[in-house]
Amino acid sequence: MKPRPDPFKDFDPAQTVKVLPRYLAGPGPVELHTIWPFPFDEGWHLHPSADEGMVFAISPCARLWTRFAPDLEKPGKGTWIIAANRIPFGPRAWGITFDATTPAELLHDVHAELLDLYLESRHSDKDYLFGDDVMAPHEVYTPLLARGWSHSVKTDGTQTFRSPDGLSSVRHRYTIGGSDDLIWRVCGGYPSEPYWQARFSHGAPTALAAAFTASLVSTEPLHRTVQDIPFHTRSHLYVATTAAAKQPPTYSPAPPPAPPVAGRTR
């Protein structure tokens, strides 16, 4: 199959465009108060670390924390981490990590769901952060199947869902055992060299993985400047210029709208 031409070849590098699919858009603008929708004026704490560039957000109960840890030695230049402890400052009960190259909008949606779970747990007799997860795993991957992703199952206790273009995947370990503590692993980019990865450990609320995959396949385009879009997968993007474009709008055929997916109930 002949590869599609680069849809951005005639664009100015500073041109702002709207693109799909989301998993190929690149990280975009990264601002803490956008990714972390926590009410810092209501008891949440924002702490810069002694290590240059590292920053923490901690819940009022000190059982839940998230941080960005820069690492100039890594291709993505850092890692986003979410973790929870059953007692304040105790051993980690579960954790989630995202490469710094993960699209910022996906990060925001996971942290928004995290805040929802925290608030619901405070006002309920259930603790949705630890053990009272009432969301079934199929709610994580149903949106993928609805968007035409493929599904394969292995005898090692894992199943994998792949996007139609083969440039994103979601692996689910449905049996617990062995040394692999990961329940969900999500990638964007060429399988041999993903541009970003997200990893959800055993114990992480299923609702967080569901929020991530729902955002992953959302048909709401992401705003990016041309210069910020990863180069090696550009030919696979669908693009429409914004109203502020320096040339008349040009549209590539977009994927069909996603069918409605049932919302979370608890």
Give the closest residue to 8 by CA, choosing from 254, 226, 251.
226
Cis check for the bond before 143: say yes or no (omega within 30 of 0).
no
Domain for residue 186, yes or no? yes
**pLDDT digit string (tens) for 113-157?**
999 999 999 888 888 899 767 789 999 999 999 999 999 999 989
Domain for residue 139, yes or no? yes
Domain for residue 9, yes or no? no
**Average of pLDDT values for 21-42?**
93
pLDDT at 74 over 80: no
Number of domains within the chain? 1
Domain for residue 50, yes or no? yes
Domain for residue 250, yes or no? no
Domain for residue 226, yes or no? no
**Average of pLDDT values for 239-259?**
49
End-to-end CA distance of the chain: 46
Quick one: DSSP state of residue 19?
E
**Count of CA atoms in the C-beta half-sphere (13 A) of 113:** 24
Domain for residue 14, yes or no? no
Gyration radius from the chain CA atoms: 19
Domain for residue 255, yes or no? no
Query: In the chain, how long is the greatest CA-to-CA distance?
Result: 57
pLDDT at 37 over 50: yes
Residue 104: domain span = 26-219
Residue, of 241 and 172, whose pLDDT is higher: 172
In this prediction, residue 173 carries a pLDDT of 94
